[in-house]
Structure 1
Amino acid sequence: MTYNSIGLNTFKTEDLANDLNHLLANFQIYYQNLRGIHWNIRGKRFFDLHVKFEELYTDATIKVDEIAERILTLGATPLHTFEDYSAKAEVKVGKNISEDDKAVRLIVDSLTELLKIEREILEKSGDANDEGTNSMISDFITEQEKTVWMMKAWLNETI
């Protein structure tokens, strides 16, 4: 077995870096969706949602950077073109969404997809003894589960 300079199995880190690039692509689509609904939201809830969506896209920007830097830490290259993001992402693109319910539903659906990907990465990072990736992904999951709960409460739905 070959180990890299941070003590991780190189075969397992290659696999994790690929999975993190998949997550990165999906996060970039999620981020762009948030920008779009932030810009286009209308209606009586505009002021509250406009601020909330900005909070979410600011957080997504930080997470995108953390994911890319983790990929680099593992010795790989982060994806960085919209072509790559579109080709690899499962998060649906939300185009011209201005209604509050549709915007919040897009967030819930996007986070649900991100959580699926993150749980797969969490399992692999645990198996690889990759505490750095494990910790980052665990933190993402904790925050996103709470956001899903809050958004579903706003939609008057249960988890």
Structure 2
Amino acid sequence: MDNRLAKAKPMKLGWSPEEVERISHALNEVLANYSVHYQKLRNYHWNVKGSDFFDLHEQFEELYTETLVNIDELAERIRVFGQTPLSTLKDYLKVSTIKETGTDLESSTMVREVLGDFTILLHFMADAVHAAAEQGDSGTEEMIKKFINKLEKHHWMLTAFLAK
């Protein structure tokens, strides 16, 4: 048996507490922003009106359904590291760069808000990928890259929708 292994202190999944903190902090930032974004999508789904109602009502539902699954994956990934994910609205609003909006918005404004949220989310996701890659955490890196690919496609589609 390698003598270094016998003397090493056990670490959660092989990462030091500092490395775990870096990864879980980045994931909690994504989680907080995603959670506020999720509620905005619900708001828009419930309150969209006008000639785009049917298209956007359905689109917002698809987006918030996907977002909810991603939020769960993020929180569970944080738990994998033995950390506690943010879980209160107060914490989400404190940490999130994404902000709430009102309910009486034009449908095009709702879409622009969602596109702005995507940009913010992509920024925090890129940070999370970087943090994971620095620590050799391929599981987190792969999960977040999957989210990025989907968000980029949604961004393209909603941008095309606004161009009509």
Q: TM-score, normalised by structure 1?
A: 0.93
Shift of 1:6: 2.0
Instruction: Give the match's secondary structure for 1:6.
Output: helix
Counterpart of 2:19 (choices 4, 12, 16) is 12
Q: Which residue of 2 aligns with 1:54?
A: 61
Task: Pick one of 85, 88, 111 that aligns with 2:92.
Answer: 85
Aligned residues: 157
| Residues 53 and 87 of structure 1: CA distance in aligned 2, closer, same or farther (over 3 Å) | same
CA distance in structure 2 between the aligned counterparts of 1:106 and 1:112, rounded to whole angstroms:
10
User: Which amino acid in 2 is paired with 1:100?
Assistant: S
DSSP 3-state at the match of 1:42:
coil
Shift of 1:97: 4.0
Unaligned 5+ segments in structure 1 are none
Q: Percent identity?
A: 38
Change (3 A) 1:128 1:108: same
Superposed displacement of residue 9, structure 1: 3.2
Give 1:35-114 correspondences, 5 Å limit.
Answer: 35-114=42-121
RMSD: 1.5
Residue pair 1:118, 1:137 contacting (<8 A) in 2 also? yes
Corresponding residue for residue 152 of structure 2: 145
Aligned to 1:134: 141
Q: List runs of 5+ in structure 2 lacking aligned partners.
A: 1-7
Q: Structure 2 vs 1, CA of residues 54 and 147 (structure 1 numbering), >3 Å: closer, same or farther?
A: same
Q: Does 1:117 align with 2:124?
A: yes
CA–CA separation in structure 2 for the residues paired with 1:112 and 1:69: 24
Q: Does 1:30 align with 2:40?
A: no
In the TM superposition, residue 3 of structure 1 has moved relative to its aligned partner by 5.8
Shift in Å at residue 19 of structure 1?
1.3
Task: Specify whether residues 137 and 3 from structure 1 end up closer, same or farther in structure 2 by C-alpha distance, changes over 3 A only.
Answer: farther
Report the structure number with the largest CA radius of gyration.
2
Alpha-carbon contact 1:22-1:88 (below 8 Å) kept: yes
* 2 and 109 in structure 1: CA distance in 2 versus 1, 3 angstrom threshold: farther
